[in-house]
Amino acid sequence: MRLYLAVAAGGFRRYATYGTATAAGVFTNTVFGFIVAYTYIALWDERPGLGGYDQAQALTFVWVSQSLLAAGALIGGGFQETFQERVRTGDIAVDLYRPADLQMWWLAADLGRAAFQLVGRGVVPLVAGALAFQLALPADPVRWLLFLVSVVLGLVVSFALRYLLGLAAFWLMDGAGINLMAQVVTIFFSGVLLPLTVFPGGFGELVRVLPWAAMLQVPMDVLLGKHSGAGSAAGALGFQAGWACVLLGAGRLLQSAATRKVVVQGG
C-alpha cells in the first residue's frame, strides 16, 4: 500500500511541474465552459426542464464537466500513451520486473495524475462559472462527499478502460488509431457533448447503462441530487463500482495474456 501511495504521489508531482501547461489548460476549460454554457442557455430557454434539469442544473453540468475533463482524461491524455510507448520500446519489461502489480502500479500513477488535475484544472473553471452564471451547486456537505466518492469511482472506471487500450499495444504496436477511436466513444458516451439524459428513447436508455456513463453522467447526477435518498445513491455508486470491477477484471485477464506474449518474444 505504501508503495502505491508513493507511486501516486509521484504521478501527482510529475504533473504539478507542468505549471504553464496547467494554466493554459485552465484557460481552455474556462473558454469552452463559456461557449457551451451559452449553447445550453439557448437550448434550455427553448425547452425548459430538458433531460430532467432546469437551466441552473444544466449550467452546473457544463461547468463541473469542464472541471472533471482533464482528471478523467475524458477528452484524451492520461497514461495509456506512455504505456503503449513503453510496450513499443520494450521498456515495459522493466515495469514487469518490479515487485509490484503492473495494473495497480499504473492505477496508482494515474490516480495521482488525476488528483493533481482535479485540483489544478478543476477549481478555477468552476469558480469562474459560478461567478458568471447562476449554478445549482448543493449546500449539503453529504452530497459533496458522495460526489467525491462518485468522482473517484469514475476515475477508476476511466483508468480501467484505458488500461485495456494500453495493453492493446502488445498486439497493435501503434496505438494512435485505437486511442483516437476510444476518445471518440468516450466523448460521446460519457456526456461530455450533451448530458446522457437528453439522449432520446431506447438509445438514451442504452447509453445510460454503458461504462462511459460512470465517468461523468453519474457523478454529475449525484452532485445535482438526482440520486437523493440512500438507496438511490447506493445504486448509482454501485453501478460505477460494478463497472470498475468488471473492467479491472478484464484488464487482468488481458494483462496475463499480454505478459505471456512478452516472454514468448523474449522481452
Partner 1 sequence: MEVPRRGRVREGLRGYGLIVGMWIRSTMTYRTSFFLAVFGNAAIQLLDFVAIWIMFQHVDALGGFSLPEIALLYGSCSASLGLADLLLGNTDRIGLRVRDGSLDTMLVRPVPLLAQVAADRFALRRLGRITQGLVVLGWAVSVLPVDWSAGKVLLVPVMIVAGAAIFGAVMVAGAAFQFVAGDAAEVQNSFTYGGNQMLQYPPTIFAKDLLRGVVFVVPLAFVNWLPALYILGRPDPLGLPGWVAFLSPLVAFTVFLPASLAWRAGVRSYRSTGS
CA distances (Å), 117 to each of 29, 61, 114, 171, 263, in order? 12, 18, 5, 31, 36
Can residue 253 be called a binding residue for partner 1 (CB under 8 A)?
Answer: no
Report the alpha-carbon distance of residue 53 to residue 38 in Å, rounded.
16
DSSP 76: B
Q: Shortest distance, CB of residue 146 to partner 1, whole angstroms?
A: 28
Q: Shortest distance, CB of residue 34 to partner 1, whole angstroms?
A: 8
Which backbone phi and psi does 97 adopt, to 5 degrees?
-75, -20
Q: Shortest distance, CB of residue 20 to partner 1, whole angstroms?
A: 4
- The number of beta carbons lying within 10 Å of the beta carbon of residue 17 is 9
Q: Shortest distance, CB of residue 216 to partner 1, whole angstroms?
A: 14
Residue with cell 494554466: 23
Q: Of residues 56, 93, 194, 210, which one binds partner 1 by CB under 8 A?
A: 194
Can residue 183 be called a binding residue for partner 1 (CB under 8 A)?
Answer: yes
Nearer to partner 1, 60 or 179 (CB): 179
- Footprint of partner 1 on 107-146 (CB under 8 A): none
CA atoms lying within 13 Å on the CB side of residue 171: 10
243 contacts 155 by C-beta, under 8 angstroms: no
**Count of residues in contact with partner 1, rule CB under 8 A:** 38
Can residue 187 be called a binding residue for partner 1 (CB under 8 A)?
Answer: yes
Can residue 94 be called a binding residue for partner 1 (CB under 8 A)?
Answer: no
Can residue 17 be called a binding residue for partner 1 (CB under 8 A)?
Answer: no
Can residue 32 be called a binding residue for partner 1 (CB under 8 A)?
Answer: yes
Stretch that binds partner 1, among 23-31, 108-116, 123-131, 251-259 (CB under 8 A): 23-31
Neighbour-count burial for 202-239, b at 16+ CB within 10 Å, e otherwise: eeeeebbeebbbbbbbbbbbbbbbbbeeeeebeebbeb
185 contacts 161 by C-beta, under 8 angstroms: no
Nearer to partner 1, 173 or 234 (CB): 173
Q: Which residues bind partner 1 (CB under 8 A)?
A: 18, 20-21, 23-25, 27-28, 31-32, 34-36, 38-39, 41-43, 46-47, 50, 172-174, 176-178, 180-181, 183-184, 187-188, 193-194, 198-200
